[in-house]
Amino acid sequence: MNATSAEQASAPVTEDALRSVLAGERPSSPGPVLTSLTFGWRALLKIKHVPEQLVDVTMFPIMFTLMFTYLFGGALAGSTQEYLQFLLPGILVQANVMITMNTGITLNTDIQKGVFDRFRSLPVWRPSPLVGALLGDVMRYSIGSAIVITLGLVLGFRPEGGAVGVVLSVALLLVFSFCLSWLWTMLSLILRTPNSVAGVSMMVMFPLTFVSNIFVDPKTMPGWMQAVVEVNPITHLATVVRGLMHGSVPAGEIGWVLASSVLLVAVFGPITMVLYRNKK
Amino acid sequence: MGKLAIETRGLKKSFGKTHAVAGVDLAVSAGGVYGVLGPNGAGKTTTIRILATLLRPDAGEAQVLGYDVVRDARSVRTRVSLTGQFASVDEDLTGVENLLLLARLLGYSRPRGRRRAADLLDAFGLANAADRQVKKYSGGMRRRIDIAASLVVPPELIFLDEPTTGLDPRSRNQVWEIVRGLVAEGTTVLLTTQYLDEADQLADRIAVIDHGKVIAEGSSGQLKASVGAGSLHVRLRSPEQRAEAERVLAAALDVPAEPSADPVALSARISDPERVARALAELSRSGIDVTEFALGQPSLDEVFLALTGHAAEETPQEDAT
């Protein structure tokens, strides 16, 4: 292995060295913001050391954008160029929401390992390991969004709302994704294995993203389905992102998205924390 | 006895139908090493997790350094640290990143945290491995970084859950040295182990735990004394004489002598060492050639067997966590 024999052979711990480290100071505990950010830093370090985990935020969005643009473009909007203007904001939403799933899967893997025991035994604000992990994921969502938008621009997407519209819509999308992640965080604490987390997440995710206005205008759908589309928060999110990117500010819809974000955290946050506290 | 570092009364915790901890009473004085000894599945890990505030007990009370583990969990957390049995640091991160992460979480500024991490890596002989991912460490190095991570802020009490399980003898000795060093500096150590000689070597007092209950408690000497003064081991020149030797010894010692796996050896548990000389004389008078004999203190293995009726290494189920 990598451990050199020199390290193994030397008596590693001398009494003097141990005495001096045990004489260390006892700093005062930092606040919740700092500890959450510190856990966020851990998530970034993990991206640095295990860059493979970015596959989902890079490949997924590219695949989706290309696939749906060229698959449906001609049939649904007459031309791929036309369809791209409608689809790209929607794909951005779908890609982001899909990526949030990974939060639950990675967290489940993480919690299975002993290191979470150490985190839970620290005198820090209790949700901070989870909040930090989600903050790290926000970085992943940003990368995914940047990839979709860049690819869209290359393919011919022209946002009428300009840079400001794009930035605002991505910001809102990140807020929503962060809040939605609490659902997966909760699931990751209920289900035993990363596989089951992935399975259940898929089951929730597919209807959530497809039964919405991401791909098509709901006008052609049967009435009952339109009703579902209408209450699906993803529909409102897609409407907002589309609106902002194309230069209109749908204030009411923005309110809807922010309200559902708050609701997601208000419901799944506390449940998650109770589960986390009572984790075996 | 000084003041108590840990005190539990009637501690219970079940997982479904498994009673992992079924009424544990402990009184651990401050300073020194307290060993919790038991086979896999005895409830050691569950007990330690309750004491480290990771699990809430179903019933009973536990005080650590005077603070209730449920009502005053945060006060406990600021004063103790836990080195779990598995991967208690992040394997994807490097040694220095792990220590810096903990230093930051515990309130060190970035530069002071860096210094603290470097000091700890130095003290634990890991300075050369500072920038290597922990998953590339050897078993012994892993254990050292695990323990170093528990000392980022020096705790008053440290829990070590099976600190040497799976280590080679040299690394095991290094961990023992660290434990002794911690105690010399006034830290209280509670360690769980399934190795009897580890408890014997390190612990001032030992609680033997089986099926979620403390079945014996005391110093290693007291535990040994509770099962008799020790054993007489005898080796004969010829295996044919063993049956007769067994009879002679049993008569002279007043306890049954037991044949060992070795066809020329047998042993007997003794209560009174003075009888041993007489027993040996009886053997020679009966014309039995003894090539070797030894009077041994009982091992903790024998203690465990005597207390529980089964050997310590028996593993009926996985340790409930």
Tens of pLDDT, residues A15-66: 788 888 888 777 888 999 999 999 999 999 999 998 888 887 888 888 888 8
Residue A53 has, within 13 A of its CA and on its CB side, a CA count of 22
Which residues of B are less than 8 Å from A6 in CB distance? 128
Residue whose pair of structure tokens reads 């294995």 in the numeric block: A193
Whether residue B136 and residue A2 make contact (CB cut-off 8 A), yes or no, is yes
Domain boundaries, chain A: 30-277
Q: Per-residue pLDDT for B318 more than 70?
A: no
Q: In this structure, what token pair is assigned to residue A225?
A: 């389905």
CB-based contact A57:A141 (threshold 8 Å): yes
Q: In this structure, what token pair is assigned to residue A182?
A: 């609490």
Which residues of B are less than 8 Å from A116 in CB distance? none
Task: Read off the pLDDT band of A5 (50, 70, 90).
Answer: very low
Q: What's the rounded mean pLDDT across residues B169-187?
A: 91
Is the minimum CB–CB distance between A29 and chain B shorter than 8 Å?
yes
Portion of chain B with pLDDT greater than 70, in percent: 93
Q: What is the pLDDT of residues A114-157, one digit of tens each?
A: 788 899 889 999 899 999 999 999 999 999 999 999 999 999 99
Say what angle helices A80-112 and A194-210 make with each other, to 10 degrees. Answer: 160
Whether residue B123 and residue A120 make contact (CB cut-off 8 A), yes or no, is no
Distance of CA B194 to the CA centre of its chain: 6
Chosen for mutation from A1, A4, A5, A7 (greatest number of chain B CBs closer than 10 Å) is: A7
Portion of chain B with pLDDT greater than 90, in percent: 55
Residue whose pair of structure tokens reads 């940047």 in the numeric block: A146
Q: How far is B13 from chain A (nearest CA, A)?
A: 11
Q: What's the rounded mean pLDDT across residues B85-100?
A: 91
Q: Closest Cα to residue B32, out of B290, B149, B206, B208?
A: B206
d(CA A217, CA A213): 6
CB-based contact B63:B79 (threshold 8 Å): no
Which residues of A are less than 8 Å from B78 in CB distance? 29, 123
Q: In this structure, what token pair is assigned to residue B15?
A: 């997982």
Strand partners, B159: B82, B190
Residue whose pair of structure tokens reads 């809102």 in the numeric block: A172
Is the minimum CB–CB distance between A5 and chain B shorter than 8 Å?
no
Q: What's the rounded mean pLDDT across residues A185-198?
A: 87
Is the minimum CB–CB distance between A122 and chain B shorter than 8 Å?
yes
Of the two residues B131 and A115, the one the predictor is more confident about is: B131
Q: Closest Cα to residue B152, out of B188, B185, B194, B104?
A: B104
Counting one residue from A and one from B, how many pairs have CB atoms under 8 Å apart? 158
**pLDDT in the model for residue A49:** 92
Task: Read off the pLDDT band of A9 (50, 70, 90).
Answer: very low
- Mean pLDDT over each residue of chain B, to the nearest integer: 88
- In order of A52, B44, B193, the CA distances from B9 in angstroms are 49, 16, 22
Which residues of A are less than 8 Å from B123 in CB distance? 13-14, 17-18, 20-21
Q: What is the pLDDT of residues B13-61, one digit of tens each?
A: 998 888 899 999 999 999 999 999 988 888 999 999 999 999 999 999 9
Is the minimum CB–CB distance between A117 and chain B shorter than 8 Å?
yes
Which residue in chain A has the smallest CA separation from B50? A280
Whether residue A13 and residue B144 make contact (CB cut-off 8 A), yes or no, is yes
Domains (ranges, CATH) in chain B?
4-92+133-225 (3.40.50.300), 230-297 (3.30.70.100)
Q: Per-residue pLDDT for B311 more than 70?
A: no
Amino acid at A187: L
Q: Per-residue pLDDT for B182 more than 70?
A: yes
d(CA A238, CA B220): 70
**pLDDT in the model for residue B163:** 92
Which residues of B are less than 8 Å from A10 in CB distance? 125
Q: What is the pLDDT of residues A223-276, one digit of tens each?
A: 999 999 988 999 999 999 999 999 888 888 899 999 999 999 999 999 999 998
Whether residue A7 and residue B126 make contact (CB cut-off 8 A), yes or no, is yes
d(CA B281, CA B269): 18
What is the side-by-side strand order in the sheet with B230-236? Answer: B257-259, B265-270, B230-236, B290-296
- In order of A104, B177, B178, B186, B269, the CA distances from A15 in angstroms are 44, 9, 8, 13, 41
Q: What's the rounded mean pLDDT across residues B257-279?
A: 83
Residue ranges of A 123-152 with Cβ closer than 8 A to chain B: 123-124
**pLDDT in the model for residue B225:** 76
* A38 closest CB neighbour out of B104, B112, B171: B104
ipTM of the complex: 0.85
Q: Per-residue pLDDT for B2 more than 60?
A: no
Q: How far is A62 from chain B (nearest CA, A)?
A: 28
Q: In this structure, what token pair is assigned to residue A199?
A: 């399975």
Which residue in chain B has the smallest CA separation from A42? B101
In chain A the first and final C-alpha atoms are separated, in Å, by: 34
d(CA B186, CA B31): 6
d(CA B155, CA B85): 18
